[in-house]
């Protein structure tokens, strides 16, 4: 949520994490040039789908800014290098608490359990990477985990089809198939 346009290298399909959004004492949000660890600053590879979506978002921001006129409270140029990539409708930083409430409302509508945005994204990414057969060590790097066991034990959820396929492979190995 604190990524600035200078952090997105769309031609190279990567994001450089170099800052974070923090709540100031007594209210307000501020962007600080601090991340948890040095490892956190390593480039994050982006999918082609993400690059297309971010490019479209960038173009839409310019139109939104023009349409808001004096109501716009963000950076005059919404795609300037220091401007935030994701903002509210009026250009201010997105409050993480508001994002969490909105995400949980959407999850409830879909009949899914509530999760914070951070956890929801991590659990989904880890599970999809696992289902695609991505090596756990690579998935841990993508998720910025220092230990592969964190990725496997906390974030990766085996899909029921994968469990069934695993059982069928065991049947084949042991010669106990039904067919």
Coil, helix or strand at residue 140:
helix
Q: Give Cα separations from 26 to 20, 29, 87, 89 (angstroms).
A: 18, 10, 21, 23
pLDDT tens sequence for the chain (179 residues): 788 999 999 999 999 888 888 888 877 888 877 666 666 667 888 889 899 999 999 999 999 999 999 999 988 899 999 999 999 999 999 888 888 898 889 888 988 888 777 777 888 888 888 878 888 888 888 888 888 888 777 777 766 666 677 777 777 777 765 55
Rg (CA), the chain: 20
Q: Which of 60, 94, 128 is the last residue of a domain?
A: 94
Residue-wise over 153-172: b if at least 16 C-beta within 10 A, else e? eebbeeeeeeeeeeeeeeee
pTM value surpassing 0.85? no
CATH number of the domain residue 15 falls in: 1.10.443.10
Q: Give the pairing type, strands 14-15 and 8-9.
A: antiparallel
Residues 88 and 176 in one domain: no
Residues 131 and 49 in one domain: no
Distance CA 136, CA 158 (A): 13
Helices (H), 23-157: 48-68, 96-109, 117-131, 136-143, 148-150
Residues 59 and 77 in one domain: yes
Domain that holds residue 77: 1-94
* Total domains in the fold of the chain: 2
Of the candidates 132, 158, 133, 155, the residue with the CA atom closest to the CA atom of residue 144: 155
Of the candidates 153, 171, 159, the residue with the CA atom closest to the CA atom of residue 133: 159
Of the candidates 83, 81, 20, 10, the residue with the CA atom closest to the CA atom of residue 43: 10
Residues 90 and 103 in one domain: no
């Amino acid at each position: 949520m604190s990524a600035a346009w200078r952090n997105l290298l769309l031609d190279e399909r990567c994001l450089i994490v170099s800052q974070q959004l923090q709540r100031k004492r007594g209210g307000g949000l501020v962007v600080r040039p601090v991340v948890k660890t040095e490892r956190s600053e390593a480039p994050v590879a982006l999918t082609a789908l993400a690059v297309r979506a971010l490019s479209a978002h960038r173009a839409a921001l310019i139109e939104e800014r023009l349409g808001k006129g004096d109501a716009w409270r963000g950076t005059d140029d919404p795609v300037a290098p220091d401007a935030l990539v994701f903002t509210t409708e009026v250009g201010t930083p997105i409050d993480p608490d508001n994002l969490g409430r909105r995400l949980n409302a959407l999850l409830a509508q879909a009949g899914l359990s509530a999760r914070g945005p951070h956890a929801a994204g991590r659990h989904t990414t880890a599970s999809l990477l696992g289902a695609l057969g991505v090596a756990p060590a690579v998935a841990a790097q993508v998720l910025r985990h220092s230990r592969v066991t964190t990725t496997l034990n906390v974030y990766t959820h085996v899909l029921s089809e994968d469990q069934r396929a695993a059982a069928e492979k065991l049947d084949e190995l042991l010669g106990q198939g039904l067919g």
